[in-house]
Amino acid sequence: MQPLQIICSDDQLIDAAKACSQLLSIPILSSPSEDSYLCFKEGEITFISPQQLSFQHSFNNNNFERRAQAQNQHLLKAFKDKKKPIRHILDATAGWCRDSFILANNNFQVTATEQSALLYFLVQFSLNNYLKTNSLNLELQHSNAFDLLTLSKTSFQAIYLDPMFPNSHNQAKNKKEIQVLQHVTKNIEIETLFELALKKATQRVVVKRPLQSDYLAQLKPHFQYKGKTIRFDIYQQFN
């Protein structure tokens, strides 16, 4: 991750800024330098890069809600099992937690794991704000998905993987949220995580892919749901 600092001009967010500083081991400054920084202001946190890329994450956002409604059809289908309904999902690549949010808003119990401390803090902050006036069955954990799947005694009916492939997401490259993800996260060994997920999920593994991309690990899914730009590959367990 690139060097990062905190600028806080909101007295009501000073405790959050201090918590962020401690979690990430980064300084709180009175004015920004040439590095990326988090701006705590007017009740929100904004990520700002030296190139003036700025992004503010929020679940209380009309644009996000409209987009969620438009995109959720195939996502929800991917987790529907008429014979044995799926209730508990692990999102092993949480990112901004947008798909987890959609699933949790549609009566799934979702555990989302994110290994980036910065990303975890930003999403948890947004989630806490949302939960002040709403209810949601979504738990966000700051953890490594490999460790969680290996050590946890919790059984997950379904595991969701949404790997970020910059070379494949040509259209997504221009989205601020994707650019910020590239600033603050590291690539994970997605094929190794995929193999582990196939061993741990009791009912299915769902992988989100660009529509024209290859199968993950060259493994053909049992079935798919396709949208205009993305698809969901479903790997069913037949235990």
* Distance in angstroms between the alpha carbons of the first and the last residue of the chain: 41
Instruction: Report the CATH number at residue 83.
Output: 3.40.50.150
Q: What whole-number percentage of the chain has pLDDT above 70?
A: 85
Q: Please report which confidence band the pLDDT of residue 2 belongs to, taking 50, 70 and 90 as the band edges.
A: low
Domain end: 17, 36, 56, which one?
Answer: 56
Name the one residue in this structure whose structure tokens are 């997401």.
169
- Same domain for 123 and 232, yes or no, is yes
Mean pLDDT (the chain) is 87
Q: Please report which confidence band the pLDDT of residue 216 belongs to, taking 50, 70 and 90 as the band edges.
A: very high
- Same domain for 9 and 116, yes or no, is no
Report, as an integer, the average pLDDT of 210-215: 93
Instruction: Report the CATH number at residue 37.
Output: 3.40.1630
At residue 92, the pLDDT reads 96
- Same domain for 32 and 69, yes or no, is no
At residue 25, the pLDDT reads 93
Domain end: 56, 72, 87, which one?
Answer: 56
Flag whether pLDDT at 169 surpasses 50: no
pLDDT tens figures, 57-107: 888 876 666 655 655 789 999 999 988 999 999 999 998 999 999 999 899
- Same domain for 119 and 225, yes or no, is yes
Q: Give dist(CA 4, CA 148) in Å, integer.
A: 28
Q: Please report which confidence band the pLDDT of residue 174 belongs to, taking 50, 70 and 90 as the band edges.
A: very low
At residue 172, the pLDDT reads 46
Q: Looking at the 3D structure of the chain, how many domains does it have? A: 2
- Same domain for 17 and 92, yes or no, is no
Residue 2: left (phi > 0), alpha (psi -120 to 50), or beta? Answer: beta
- Same domain for 191 and 221, yes or no, is yes
At residue 167, the pLDDT reads 46
- Same domain for 49 and 126, yes or no, is no
At residue 54, the pLDDT reads 83
Report, as an integer, the average pLDDT of 128-149: 93
Q: Please report which confidence band the pLDDT of residue 33 belongs to, taking 50, 70 and 90 as the band edges.
A: confident
Flag whether pLDDT at 19 surpasses 90: yes
- Same domain for 108 and 197, yes or no, is yes
Residue 86: left (phi > 0), alpha (psi -120 to 50), or beta? Answer: beta
- Same domain for 114 and 8, yes or no, is no
- Same domain for 46 and 147, yes or no, is no
Task: Give the angle 48-37-126 at the CA atoms, nearest 5°.
Answer: 75
At residue 170, the pLDDT reads 45
CA dihedral 13, 14, 17, 18 (to 10 degrees): -150
Q: Please report which confidence band the pLDDT of residue 164 belongs to, taking 50, 70 and 90 as the band edges.
A: low
- Same domain for 161 and 213, yes or no, is yes
Could you tell me if 56 and 34 are in contact, meaning their C-beta atoms sit under 8 angstroms apart? no
β-strands 36-41, 44-48 pairing: antiparallel
Q: Give dist(CA 105, CA 70) in Å, integer.
A: 14
Flag whether pLDDT at 202 surpasses 50: yes
**Residue 71 belongs to domain spanning:** 62-236
At residue 239, the pLDDT reads 62
At residue 165, the pLDDT reads 55
Report, as an integer, the average pLDDT of 10-24: 95
At residue 66, the pLDDT reads 62
- Same domain for 142 and 160, yes or no, is yes
